[in-house]
Amino acid sequence: MWFSRKRLDAFVRGDQSGAVLNRAFVCGAHVLGMLFSPNIDDSPAMVRLHARRGQIAWECLAELFETDNYGVAVQAMMEVAATYILIRMTHTGILYIQKSCDIITARSLRFVPTHGCPPEFSEDLHEILVALSQTIYWSNYLFLTRGNPESRATGGLEKEFRLELPVGGITSILSRIWLIFTVASLSDSL
């Protein structure tokens, strides 16, 4: 996940005001962090805190789907998908990758605009491009490590990245090599 400086600062500070960054990200990170905390089940207070953070994250995610902020919704989907994949609930992770692809398709989110001039590169645009890239990455990760079928949902997005994005053709081989090494190291650690 990649955030603009302003959003990253809010994320690191744990800002839950929602003014700069949707609360789903901060609460979702709390939930994921608590999953790896030792002996969390031994403390009823921690179990309640974990459940409450999870509830807030889901509520904020549901509210996010009611907005027109589709790029942020795709980012949130990728955080949820990554969390499920990391805790070995792969099938649920796949559902969120599919939901992300549905939003990308329905809202015509693209690496390269189909008409007009390309937008100025900004931190906000960078966030959306990273979210689109992560959608491809996690789909490929599951294909390479878990033997899942190649995702048809991300196929068009990956084709656009490879053929139409100016850097896609040059870096696709390097990104595949990097992906293979990343998958190998993640598989060793899991």
Residue 5 lies in a domain: no
Show Cβ contacts of residue 72 under 8 Å, excluding neighbours closer than 6 positions.
Answer: 22, 64, 127
User: Helix (H, G, I), strand (E, B), or coil: what is residue 57?
Assistant: helix
Whether the CB-CB separation of 15 and 4 falls below 8 Å is answered with no
Q: What is the pLDDT of residues 154-176, one digit of tens each?
A: 777 887 777 766 554 444 444 55
Q: What is the pLDDT of residues 38-85, one digit of tens each?
A: 888 888 998 899 899 889 999 998 998 888 888 889 999 898 998 888
Residue in the structure block whose two tokens are 């990200």: 25
Q: What is the rounded distance in angstroms from the CA atom of residue 128 to the CA atom of residue 109?
A: 8
Residue 146 lies in a domain: yes
Number of structural domains (the chain) is 1
Residue 33 lies in a domain: no
How open is the CA angle 73-74-76, to the nearest 5 degrees?
65
User: Helix (H, G, I), strand (E, B), or coil: what is residue 117?
Assistant: coil
Residue 6 lies in a domain: no
Q: Is pLDDT above 80 for 118?
A: no
Residue 139 lies in a domain: yes
Residue 165 lies in a domain: yes
Residue 31 lies in a domain: no
The half-sphere exposure of 124 on its side-chain side, counting CA atoms within 13 A, is 8
The token pair at 80 is: 């949820």
Q: How sure is the predictor about 125, in pLDDT bands with cuts at 50, 70 and 90?
A: confident
Q: What is the pLDDT of residues 8-43, one digit of tens each?
A: 899 999 998 989 998 999 988 888 888 888 888 888
Q: What is the rounded distance in angstroms from the CA atom of residue 139 to the CA atom of residue 155?
A: 10
Residue 152 lies in a domain: yes
Q: CA end-to-end span of the chain, whole Å?
A: 20
Residue type, 3: F
**Using CA of residue 104, residue 86, residue 94, residue 63, what is the dihedral sign?**
negative
Whether the CB-CB separation of 104 and 77 falls below 8 Å is answered with no
Segments forming the whole domain that contains residue 145: 99-190
